[in-house]
């Protein structure tokens, strides 16, 4: 079975940062994008996207941690952080290809998306419904569908 | 601990390169709420009387509100206030961006800047550390370059920058302050020139503190409802789909959008003379042709900025947002209907750091001067300022920002430029108190005419926004009736409140009862109980405070004026044909408004009113 993770549709995403605010509020009790497990990115003039942990099958972060503070939950696929072991060296942050890991400024340990027990709060607040929980197969289905619709409309023109 | 506020103002003295922190008390917060309430109070307190706005004596105040940095919809606004080099009265401009949020997270509610740096400087506020940095390499750069260079130098995209462009450096009287590229929402009254006069290129901020609120769970639940509601709202849906162009179409098709420097309102007739057919500028058509992508300010579920990519023609490859005020000022008012040119011109204004409205109005005035032979090709140094010539528009905009040739005169604003050129050109210089007219032909929107005249910052469409009720027939747009002065005043109080809480006017669809809804939100955020009546009074208090500031600077009834064209030249065409104002009618309007405000017949603040609003010290100084 493929695992679901939070994906963002850049065509819908407006870069409003609401996901960051909600994540930090739910996890940290206050508003601060730096403490969010999902992060937005805007490339001027108009490209926007949000990024969170993609639950890699063979996560480089886990492999790279020198203190073995990170592990993958076999059932859910999320990255579990042992805060006792983590010393905030940021090696995992460097190795993650998606920039999906951040350092908690106060605790000095790393933070990463844990899918809020399977019900990510950022999703329900996203005002443009740009965020969704999808498996890689669902993502490819959507992409295929879009490509076919575009091709079909060109053929009928 | 105080929620909703940092409780601190940062004072930066550019002359001495010293900073200090001043505490902001809860009593003060409750009385002035935030944003515009803070800026006018500090300006009133810290500024000497009768100063030259472009001298080191001017004080420039930035502020955010109690909702800044939270998820409350549309709470990304910040305000900048100083004495205006255009009007010599209070000047302010409200921007919307990520800067406000970063500033709040850095741990401040307000920033007061005084003095003048010896050489080009930028401020870097890194939470509690404040640096005066050398801006030698930034001087002369445009706003977007400056933004990028500062972020790259510091090496962090979390740094947010509010900057001036060449126009601010060159003291163009309507220079703007631009933050985060496309979010120069409002560059009015020349705050960029004040920054330039202080040799202050930019204010960069990095904020890493967490913004906490009194009742987090309740606030989160309420905001979830608000997000659902706002994307279905009448106005917000239009804003989401098309931005201000969407609502602007109502004015264009109802003979209320000025064309060719207020010489026409008939878009249907005018456009047949031009290359584009105005009937095509429908919502659907615009979306297909130009709108590529909506982008949002921080924490905003609407996302009204629509980035247009030009695919063909001379401006191919350019990308910028299209807005109603830009479409009017740089478009219809200059006789230009070619949309890609309007997009490009807007982008030029934003990168050079000049106000779109003032720029368009002063150019349209110069175009009419050319039409009437008051300005010749020799005066314009070969630029053919004929209505409709978008090539000339692209040539003249940078000349204004760099104060070259005729641009040096236009950079003074339409009031001063027309006084200098003379030859009757004052009669069609469209401004009030020196601030250029936004895109509403007030000859056929009479309550708006009053609103433009009495606004404390000059011709201002955001102060009461009564053009909405007028165009939708809630009040008769062609006939001013007794009581409408009170209607305008109430709207002003109401919208001032948005600027205290620092939320966007496009949040209007959310509120069932604006005062009780907002006072409830205020209490959830701050924990401070506040009644609807207290909140309503705060709006009125701040409006009166701004008025008192102007009185202290020498305001008299004759300053609440409208340009001669509004009285002398009836609207020549279209459904609004023949409509204009008479002097008697205008006097009646002012009387009605001043009475509703509780001011004297001369428009002076009364001791009684000021004391009623808790402004006892102000009452002593200016009240009669």
Q: What is the pLDDT of residues B3-46, one digit of tens each?
A: 999 999 999 999 999 999 999 999 999 999 999 999 999 999 99
A46 and A6 part of one domain: yes
Residues above pLDDT 90, as percent of chain B: 84
Residue-by-residue DSSP string for B206-238: E--PPB--S-HHHHHHHHHHHHHHHTTSHHHHH
Q: So what's the pLDDT on residue B307?
A: 86
Is residue B555 a contact partner of residue B89, using CB atoms and an 8 Å limit? Answer: yes
Look at residue B291 and tell me whether its pLDDT is greater than 50: yes
Per residue in B348-378, pLDDT (tens digit) is 999 999 999 999 999 999 999 999 999 999 9
Q: What dihedral angle (degrees, nearest 10) is formed by the CA atoms of A131, B77, B203, B15?
A: -160
Q: So what's the pLDDT on residue B282?
A: 54
Residues of A with CB below 8 A from B208's CB?
32, 34, 105
Check if B8-206 and B442-562+582-622 are the same fold: no
The predicted model scores a pTM of: 0.96
Is residue B456 a contact partner of residue B543, using CB atoms and an 8 Å limit? Answer: yes
Is residue B184 a contact partner of residue B322, using CB atoms and an 8 Å limit? Answer: no
**Fold classification of B442-562+582-622 (topology level):** 1.10.599
Q: So what's the pLDDT on residue B250?
A: 85
Residues of A with CB below 8 A from B292's CB?
46
| Cβ–Cβ below 8 Å for A127 and B231 | yes
Residue A106 in any domain: the answer is no
A124 and A152 part of one domain: yes
State which residues form the domain around A83.
Answer: 56-99
A46 and A64 part of one domain: no
Q: Which CATH number covers residue A32? A: 3.30.70
Residue A137 in any domain: the answer is yes
A42 and A88 part of one domain: no
Q: So what's the pLDDT on residue B273?
A: 45
Residues of B with CB below 8 A from A119's CB?
none
Residues above pLDDT 70, as percent of chain B: 96
Provide the 3-class DSSP secondary structure of residue B129: strand
A45 and A61 part of one domain: no
Mutate to test the interface with A, among B298, B305, B347 (most CBs of A within 10 A): B298
Provide the 3-class DSSP secondary structure of residue B170: coil
Residue from B431, B496, B438, B503 nearest B467 by CA: B438
Q: What are the residue ranges in chain A where pLDDT is below 50?
A: none
Q: How many domains does chain A have?
A: 2
* pLDDT band at B624; cut points 50, 70, 90: very high
User: Domain B244-430 is in which class?
Assistant: mainly alpha
A6 and A33 part of one domain: yes
How many Å is the maximal CA-CA distance in chain A?
A: 62
Name the residue in chain B with its Cα closest to that of A25: B216
Vertex B132: Cα angle to B131 and B138 (nearest 5): 120
Residue-by-residue DSSP string for B157-168: TT-EEEE--HHH
Look at residue B165 and tell me whether its pLDDT is greater than 50: yes
The CATH-assigned architecture of domain B8-206 is: 4-Layer Sandwich (3.60)
Facing A32 at nearest CB: one of B210, B220, B301: B210
What six digits make up the tokens of A139?
């993502």
- State the smallest CA–CA distance between residue B113 and chain A in angstroms: 27
Q: For tokens 């709006």, what's the residue?
A: B539
Look at residue B290 and tell me whether its pLDDT is greater than 80: no
A38 and A3 part of one domain: yes
- For residues B274-288, average pLDDT: 56
A18 and A44 part of one domain: yes
Q: So what's the pLDDT on residue B553?
A: 97
Residue A72 in any domain: the answer is yes
Lowest mean pLDDT of A127-136, B193-202, B281-290, name the range: B281-290
What six digits make up the tokens of A64?
């790279």
Residue B406: phi, psi to the nearest 5?
A: -60, -30
| Cβ–Cβ below 8 Å for B307 and A128 | no
Q: So what's the pLDDT on residue B278?
A: 52
- State the smallest CA–CA distance between residue B106 and chain A in angstroms: 11
Is residue B83 a contact partner of residue B89, using CB atoms and an 8 Å limit? Answer: yes
Look at residue B429 and tell me whether its pLDDT is greater than 50: yes
Q: So what's the pLDDT on residue B183?
A: 58
Considering chain B, what is the average pLDDT of its residues? 94
Residue-by-residue DSSP string for B439-476: S--GGG-HHHHHHHHH-TTSS-SSSS-THHHHHTTSS-
Per residue in B83-130, pLDDT (tens digit) is 999 999 999 999 988 999 999 999 999 999 999 999 999 999 999 999
Residue A121 in any domain: the answer is yes
* pLDDT band at B174; cut points 50, 70, 90: very high
| Cβ–Cβ below 8 Å for B208 and A105 | yes
Q: What is the ipTM of this complex?
A: 0.94
- State the smallest CA–CA distance between residue B83 and chain A in angstroms: 33
- State the smallest CA–CA distance between residue A71 and chain B in angstroms: 29
| Cβ–Cβ below 8 Å for A127 and B294 | no
Interface of B with A (CB under 8 A): 69-71, 98, 101, 105, 144, 158, 181-182, 208-213, 216, 220, 223-224, 227, 230-231, 292-303, 307, 319-320
A48 and A91 part of one domain: no
Per residue in B299-325, pLDDT (tens digit) is 999 988 888 888 889 999 888 888 899
A86 and A14 part of one domain: no
- For residues B542-547, average pLDDT: 98
A137 and A125 part of one domain: yes
Name the residue in chain B with its Cα closest to that of A28: B210
Q: So what's the pLDDT on residue B177?
A: 96
| Cβ–Cβ below 8 Å for A16 and B224 | no
Q: So what's the pLDDT on residue B285?
A: 64
The Cα-based distances of B231 to A10, B72, B235, B300 in angstroms read 19, 14, 9, 11
pLDDT: which is higher, B277 or B59: B59
Per residue in B548-585, pLDDT (tens digit) is 999 999 999 999 999 999 999 999 999 999 999 999 99
A39 and A82 part of one domain: no
Domain boundaries, given as residue ranges, for chain B: 8-206, 244-430, 442-562+582-622
- For residues B241-246, average pLDDT: 82
A16 touching B, CB under 8 A?
yes
- For residues B179-199, average pLDDT: 86
- State the smallest CA–CA distance between residue A24 and chain B in angstroms: 9
Q: Which CATH number covers residue A71? A: 3.30.70.20
A9 touching B, CB under 8 A?
no
């Amino acid at each position: 079975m493929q695992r679901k993770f939070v994906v963002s549709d850049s065509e819908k995403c407006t870069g409003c940062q609401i996901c960051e605010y909600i994540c930090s509020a739910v996890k940290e009790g206050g508003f601060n994008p730096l403490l969010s497990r999902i992060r937005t990115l805007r490339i001027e003039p108009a490209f926007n996207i949000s990024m969170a942990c993609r639950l890699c099958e063979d996560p480089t972060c886990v492999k790279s941690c020198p203190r073995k503070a990170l592990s993958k939950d076999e059932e859910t696929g999320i990255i579990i952080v042992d805060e006792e072991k983590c010393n905030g060296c940021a090696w995992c942050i460097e190795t993650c290809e998606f920039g999906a890991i951040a350092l908690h400024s106060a605790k000095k340990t790393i933070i990463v998306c844990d899918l809020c027990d399977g019900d990510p709060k950022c999703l329900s607040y996203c005002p443009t419904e740009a965020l969704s929980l999808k498996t890689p197969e669902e993502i490819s289905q959507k992409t295929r569908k879009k490509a076919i619709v575009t091709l079909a409309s060109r053929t009928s023109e | 601990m105080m929620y909703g506020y940092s409780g601190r103002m940062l004072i930066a003295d550019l002359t001495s390169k010293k900073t200090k922190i001043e505490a902001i008390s809860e009593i003060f917060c409750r009385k002035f709420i935030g944003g515009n309430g803070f800026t006018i109070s500090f300006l009133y307190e810290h500024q000497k009387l009768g100063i030259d706005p472009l001298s080191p004596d001017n004080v420039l105040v930035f502020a955010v509100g109690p909702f800044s940095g939270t998820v409350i919809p549309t709470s990304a606004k910040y305000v900048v206030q100083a004495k205006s080099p255009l009007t010599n009265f209070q000047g302010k401009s409200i921007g919307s961006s990520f800067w406000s949020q970063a500033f709040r997270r850095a741990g401040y509610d307000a920033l007061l800047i005084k003095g003048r740096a010896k050489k080009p400087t930028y401020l870097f506020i890194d939470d509690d550390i404040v640096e005066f940095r050398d801006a030698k390499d930034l001087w002369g750069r445009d706003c977007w370059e400056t933004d990028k260079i500062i972020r790259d130098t510091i090496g962090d995209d979390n740094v947010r920058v509010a900057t001036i462009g060449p126009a601010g450096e060159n003291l163009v009287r309507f220079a703007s302050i631009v933050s985060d590229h496309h979010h120069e929402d409002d560059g009015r009254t020349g705050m960029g020139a004040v920054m330039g006069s202080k040799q202050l290129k930019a204010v960069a901020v990095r904020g890493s503190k967490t913004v906490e609120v009194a009742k987090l769970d309740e606030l989160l639940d309420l905001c979830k409802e608000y997000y659902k509601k706002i994307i279905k709202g009448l106005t917000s849906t239009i804003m989401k789909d098309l931005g201000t162009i969407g609502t602007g179409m109502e004015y264009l098709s109802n003979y209320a959008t000025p064309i060719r420097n207020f010489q026409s309102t008939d878009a249907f007739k005018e456009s047949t003379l031009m290359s584009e057919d105005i009937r095509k500028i429908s919502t659907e058509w615009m979306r297909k042709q130009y709108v590529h992508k909506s982008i949002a300010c921080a924490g905003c579920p609407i996302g009204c900025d629509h980035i247009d990519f030009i695919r063909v023609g001379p401006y191919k490859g350019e990308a910028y947002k299209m807005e109603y005020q830009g479409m009017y000022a740089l478009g219809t008012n200059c006789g230009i209907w070619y949309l890609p040119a309007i997009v490009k011109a807007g982008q030029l204004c934003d990168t050079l750091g000049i106000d779109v409205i003032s720029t368009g109005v002063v150019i349209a005035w110069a175009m009419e001067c050319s039409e009437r032979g008051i300005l010749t090709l020799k005066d314009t140094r070969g630029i053919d300022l004929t209505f409709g010539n978008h090539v000339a528009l692209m040539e003249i905009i940078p000349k204004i920002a760099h104060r070259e040739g005729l641009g040096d005169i236009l950079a003074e604003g339409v009031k001063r430029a027309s006084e200098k050129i003379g030859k009757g050109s004052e009669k069609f210089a469209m401004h009030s108190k020196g601030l250029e007219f936004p895109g509403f032909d007030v000859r056929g929107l009479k309550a708006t005419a009053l609103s433009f005249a009495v606004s404390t910052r000059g011709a201002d469409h955001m102060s009461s926004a009564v053009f909405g009720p007028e165009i939708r027939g809630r009040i008769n747009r062609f006939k001013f009736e007794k009581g409408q002065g009170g209607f305008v005043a109430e709207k002003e109080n109401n919208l001032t409140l948005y600027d205290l809480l620092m939320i966007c006017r496009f949040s209007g669809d959310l509120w069932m009862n604006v005062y009780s809804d907002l006072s409830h939100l205020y209490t959830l955020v701050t924990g401070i109980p506040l009644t609807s009546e207290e909140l309503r009074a705060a709006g009125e208090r701040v409006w009166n405070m701004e008025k008192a500031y102007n009185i202290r600077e020498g305001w008299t009834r004759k300053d609440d004026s409208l340009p001669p064209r509004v009285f002398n030249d009836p609207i020549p065409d279209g459904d609004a044909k023949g409509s204009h104002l008479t002097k008697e009618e205008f006097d009646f309007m002012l009387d009605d408004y001043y009475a509703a405000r509780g001011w004297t017949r001369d428009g002076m603040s009364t001791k009684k009113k000021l004391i009623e609003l808790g402004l006892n010290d102000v009452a002593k100084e200016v009240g009669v």
